[in-house]
Amino acid sequence: MLALIQRVTQAQVTVDGAVVGAIGPGLLALVGIEPGDGEAQARRMAQRLLGYRVFEDANGKMNRSLTDTGGQLLLVSQFTLAADTRSGMRPSFTSAATPDMARREFDRLLAICRALHPPGVETGRFGAHMVVSLVNDGPVTFLLRP
């Protein structure tokens, strides 16, 4: 499991012209599920997403987490993130989980995050063609693995 996180002032996901998920200040996380991911990876990723210190404190240092700030989280499933791009000029998706497994593990991650983060967790629509809009704050972007 991997997540590309971006600190945002706002972000939203649109499917077929309708907004299906939107947040104000917080984190956008594009999530890729890999074969072998399970409950342990989902729990650890949830801890990292909610606890990773990417927000500034009073001294301008990145010492505050999403939990500390009460910001929102937008989780978006993105199988292309798990692509193997090491060779050639076309990505291979053999390193990504099957759609059924990916949906199960993404839903597990979503449920854990929602249970642990009352300020709000939004999502896109699994398997849909999504248009993701965001305003990156910083810019601040990190690749997380559990």
Q: Is 80 annotated in the active site?
A: yes
Q: Which of 41, 72, 79, 123 is catalytic?
A: 79
Catalytic: 14? no
* 78 belongs to the catalytic site: yes
Catalytic residue among 6, 78, 106, 123: 78
Q: Please, what is the end-to-end C-alpha distance for the chain in angstroms? A: 7
Q: Rounded to an integer, what distance in angstroms lies between the CA atom of residue 87 and that of residue 74?
A: 31
Q: Residue written as tokens 């499933």?
A: 77
- Pairwise CA distance, residues 9 & 30, whole Å: 16
Which is the catalytic residue, given 80, 85, 98, 141? 80
- Residues classed as catalytic: 78-80
